[in-house]
């Protein structure tokens, strides 16, 4: 039998650690046990491809109590002029340090290499992956599901297409190790990982005409300039103003995305192609220009099979050869788990609340859990907001964020915590409120956010995430 605990957090990735960090800081004398199948804290970052970086600045990523990076501005490369973005190694080191600090409080036990199997009448069942031994933990307060939104990544997923034994296809993780052995490349995937693989090839001197991009769908990306915190926070407020203006004036989803693209809020690599995919990722303009150099873009649907001399796709086939390295970048990334109440009897299910802010959301949920008693009240403040996959999800997701943020503003404890949190991307707003650009954008945002919410709902674009949760 393992030691009893107040909270059992299942998952030591960004979500579980940000939650535990916030809960331990805010709640009196709670004991927390964190369990994860992986050999160390950090979740999917432990298996990320070698050239991965955060796509958002480090400044507001990780756990609240520990900075990530030094908030420096990059001077070179496609991120020049913007705040630094941690490498995978830096993210892993951050989470390792965060876990160590939590353990040092004496209130948090970290069980890596352990799998949570569910519960029976004697408690929560935990299996030691080394020995196979199953023991139990008695949980006095709540089990925290910090794996509900676990995504799939190329290193650990099975591709949805077949690969003949003598064809050359590697997961994106292996690209740097084997790239030199190929004379050309076929990058497979439509999202950010595929864009990163193409950028890695270009930055390492591969001529664009040696890259074929099998990109069945066109995706929307944010312009990274609208996600810069601290001294550049005016860009974030400008982005929010653009969202609200487009939302208030939109007559349909198509019209909404025309507006978002027209004002520079959203980008697509090939503006001549319709884009239906939206995952909330971002690119800088230099990155966009570089990616547009790749002209051999294959749009014959999803890959079905790779053979030594041909690629079979949903809508045709292409010749290939053994000198071409096929690079699998097709994993789904974000989970498509449906909304479920975050606070349930004996259970917390960590999910997105404010869009595209996973660490902030988990820390916020930890704060709310520590300070409130009533689950209905907690759910009112933290309505689940499922991850986006297509353009249809944008209005629902943004409107849900706006509704939740409106409620936070009316709660002094919560708005105080948000104002002080390192994970709040708008944290520097008060310091820059006197700037003309901030004032102008803020005014446009505040003028439009109400009508925009109403407009999205009136158009029937905003789908409530969960019918049995009351939204005021």
Ligand X SMILES: Cc1cc2nc3c(=O)[nH]c(=O)nc-3n(C[C@H](O)[C@H](O)[C@H](O)COP(=O)(O)OP(=O)(O)OC[C@H]3O[C@@H](n4cnc5c(N)ncnc54)[C@H](O)[C@@H]3O)c2cc1C
Of 52-60, 163-171, 433-441, 449-457, the window that binds ligand X (rule: CB under 6 A) is 52-60
DSSP state of 459: T
Nearest CA to 238 among 394, 56, 437, 446?
Answer: 437
**36 near ligand X, rule: CB under 6 A:** yes
Q: In 164-309, which ranges are E strands? A: 169-171, 184-188, 211-214, 219-223, 266-267, 277-283, 296-298, 303-306
Nearest approach in angstroms of CB 352 to ligand X is 10
Nearest approach in angstroms of CB 99 to ligand X is 12
Contacts 24+ apart (CB under 8 A), 434-443: 435/234, 437/234, 437/237, 437/238, 438/233, 438/234, 438/237, 441/234, 441/237, 441/238, 441/240, 441/241, 442/237, 442/241
Terminal CA-CA length for the chain? 44
Of 33-41, 205-213, 289-297, 372-380, the window that binds ligand X (rule: CB under 6 A) is 33-41
Nearest CA to 146 among 374, 389, 387, 347?
Answer: 347
- Identify residues 53-112 at the interface with ligand X (CB under 6 A): 54-56, 61
Which of residues 37 and 65 has its CB atom nearest to ligand X in the complex? 37
- Identify residues 158-217 at the interface with ligand X (CB under 6 A): none
CB 205 within 8 A of CB 199: no
Of 5-13, 128-136, 257-265, 391-399, the window that binds ligand X (rule: CB under 6 A) is 5-13
Total residues binding ligand X (CB under 6 A): 29
Question: 19, 43, 220, 369: which one contacts ligand X (CB under 6 A)?
Answer: 43
Of 41-49, 225-233, 365-373, 441-449, the window that binds ligand X (rule: CB under 6 A) is 41-49
Question: 151, 208, 286, 451: which one contacts ligand X (CB under 6 A)?
Answer: 151
CB 367 within 8 A of CB 26: yes
> What's the rounded Cα separation, in Å, for the pair 86 and 186?
27
- Residue least distant from ligand X (Cβ): 43
**52 near ligand X, rule: CB under 6 A:** yes
- Identify residues 229-268 at the interface with ligand X (CB under 6 A): none
Nearest approach in angstroms of CB 112 to ligand X is 9
In the chain, count H helices and then E strands: 13, 21
Which residues sit at the interface with ligand X, rule CB under 6 A?
Answer: 10-16, 35-38, 43-44, 48, 52, 54-56, 61, 115-116, 146-147, 149-151, 153, 333, 358
């Amino acid at each position: 039998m393992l030691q009893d605990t107040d909270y059992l957090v299942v998952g030591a990735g960004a979500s579980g650690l940000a939650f535990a960090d916030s809960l331990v800081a805010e709640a009196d004398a709670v004991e927390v046990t964190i369990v994860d199948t992986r050999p160390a804290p950090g979740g999917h970052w432990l298996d990320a491809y070698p050239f991965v970086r955060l796509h958002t600045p480090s400044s507001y990523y990780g756990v609240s109590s520990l900075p990530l990076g030094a908030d420096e501005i990059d001077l070179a490369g496609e991120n020049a002029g913007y705040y630094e973005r941690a490498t995978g190694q830096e993210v892993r080191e951050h989470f390792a340090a965060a876990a160590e600090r939590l353990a040092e409080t004496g209130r948090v036990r970290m069980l890596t290499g352990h799998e949570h199997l569910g519960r029976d009448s004697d408690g929560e069942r935990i299996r030691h992956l080394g020995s196979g031994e199953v023991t139990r933990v008695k949980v006095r307060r709540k089990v925290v599901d910090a794996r509900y939104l676990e995504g799939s990544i190329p290193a650990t997923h099975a591709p949805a297409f077949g690969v003949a034994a003598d064809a050359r296809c590697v997961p994106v993780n292996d690209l740097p190790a084997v790239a030199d052995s190929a004379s050309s490349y076929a990058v497979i995937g439509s999202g950010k990982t595929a864009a990163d693989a193409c950028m890695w090839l270009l930055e390492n001197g591969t001529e664009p005409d040696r890259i074929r991009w099998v990109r069945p769908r066109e995706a929307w990306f944010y312009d990274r300039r609208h996600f810069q915190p601290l001294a550049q926070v005016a860009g974030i407020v400008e982005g929010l103003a653009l969202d609200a203006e487009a939302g208030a004036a939109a007559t349909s989803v198509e019209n909404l995305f025309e507006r978002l693209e027209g004002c520079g809020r959203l980008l697509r690599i090939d503006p001549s192609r319709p884009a239906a995919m939206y995952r909330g990722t971002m690119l800088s303009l230099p990155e966009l220009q570089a990616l547009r150099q790749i002209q051999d873009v294959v749009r014959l649907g999803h890959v079905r099979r790779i053979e030594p001399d041909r690629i079979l796709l949903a809508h045709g086939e292409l010749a290939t050869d053994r000198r071409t390295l096929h690079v699998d970048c097709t994993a789904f990334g974000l989970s498509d788990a449906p909304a479920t109440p975050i606070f349930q009897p004996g259970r917390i299910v960590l999910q997105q609340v404010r869009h595209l802010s996973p660490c902030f959301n988990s820390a916020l949920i930890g704060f709310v859990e520590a300070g409130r008693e009533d689950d209905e009240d907690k759910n009112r403040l933290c309505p689940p907001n499922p991850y986006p996959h297509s353009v249809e999800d944008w209005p629902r997701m943004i409107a849900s964020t706006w509704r939740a943020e409106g409620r936070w503003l009316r709660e002094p404890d919560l708005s105080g915590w948000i104002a002080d949190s390192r994970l709040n991307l708008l944290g520097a707003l008060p310091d820059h409120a006197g700037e003309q650009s901030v004032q102008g954008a803020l005014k446009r945002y505040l003028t439009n956010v109400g009508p925009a919410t109403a407009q999205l709902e009136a158009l029937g674009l905003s789908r409530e995430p969960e019918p049995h949760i009351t939204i005021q």
